[in-house]
Structure 1
């Protein structure tokens, strides 16, 4: 169904129609509790070579599907670009947490190149653009994340090295493995644990409601 901001006159009726016709999602999960043909038929990872069209994959670090962008950049063979920002499962031009970007302008550049044959320069830019977030105290949601944009020419990146970190006794991560002496560490975090700990995908974006509304 449409975003209410895009269909201000009849979005409610369209949403009611969608909810009425879509049925109970839980029914599908109960009937297909293992990876069977129901899940495989629409899964890209079953055959990456079947995708021949250009792909622009977009996600955000607060989105439940951000890792898909990296898998697509690695496995696809055709023209492709990837974009991962700080936002949740929403449009990047109104993305929360911010900063949002001029995503509509980016879309026009992409479609003009592939549908109209115009040289917009978009395919001459690096394959992958990422927002590297600065560290921040944990909280249930963020209005804005500090950080910087970086680009990568390919994925896996020639600029990235895998490194293992280990827990240390002072509550920090260490590049060196510490001894395994027993001890107790008290951790206090404002993030609640359990069923009321927040949603997995939407990440408290505007329009969400608290899970516990007593």
Structure 2
């Protein structure tokens, strides 16, 4: 288990930044807890009492690791990481097809650039118009329109398919993919709700993160639990 993944989740959940030099010094979960508290504001911007609990994020971790693995990247992948950073245009269609095969058709297909769609529509309309003008009667024009429309639609769809490398507007980040696959994975507690005034809540949240990442029951994680020796974190 990579310590970076735990640090990333802590940063995202509490809305803080932990420099590499700092997290390299964490020996125990208690030390990380003290550090997180020091980085939080004295008072929360959102009242914790008005918030709902967060669901389990274990599926989120799994989905994110899968996306990062498919992309073959060393970037620190966060929910807000742009998919364009992970999947460059070259080879994007193949990787995206693998993602759709793994997570299902709920993940939308890649889109063609707007200009390609516009040009294809104009070209198709022009050809259909030519067919209509060549028909000798109204009925013939209708039949010509239907046949030409079907034929041209299929041809243009196939011809422009390799150009479909744009992400849909509702699927631009890693978090967008996760929410499409598992719509219930929506955090109920935003980072603005944490403060130094609720150290016990911060501890419970931190233990949940560590527990899900290292696959050890939360009840077995204590302030003195050492990341390397006890939790086997690399």
Q: TM-score, normalised by structure 1?
A: 0.24
Richer in helix (by share): 2
Larger Rg computed on CA atoms: 2
Richer in strand (by share): 1
